[in-house]
Amino acid sequence: MKKIRAITIGMGIWGLGVGAFVSSFFIPLLENAQLQANLVLFLAVVPLVWFGAKLYYKSGSTTQGVWVGLTFFLVAAVLDALITVPFLVAPNGGSHLEFFTDPGFWLIGLLFIGIAIVYWYLKVKRTAEFI
């Protein structure tokens, strides 16, 4: 596994995800702004992780998708702990405990891993079988 590459791509996914989450507050479509932001993030994660996996595997790596997805998610979780919670969540009355025990956080984490696994099965493993 190309760790530096996976970590760098994971940082990019996290940054774009946070950008989508924060931006959603400026376009009020639902009454519940927090729910709207979580839905936007959930929808944004799908193409972000897919594109991140595409970038990762572009170098010819065949690392199983579960490891790539776990790396992307672990990077996002660490950056959330260091940046998102202290600077975006805590000033609005939230805490690390609240953030990391929210089922939505873990659902998005499963989505990270699931998308990377699906990408690996469809684009990497399948291609390797035909070579």
Helix/strand/coil for 2: coil
Mean pLDDT of the region 46-74: 96
φ, ψ of residue 107 in degrees (nearest 5): -65, -45
Residue 68 neighbours by CB distance under 10 Å: 30
Mean pLDDT of the region 7-28: 96
**What percentage of residues in the chain have a pLDDT greater than 70?**
97
Does pTM surpass 0.85? yes
Mean pLDDT of the region 74-88: 97
Of 68, 22, 71, 66, the C-alpha closest to 44 is 22
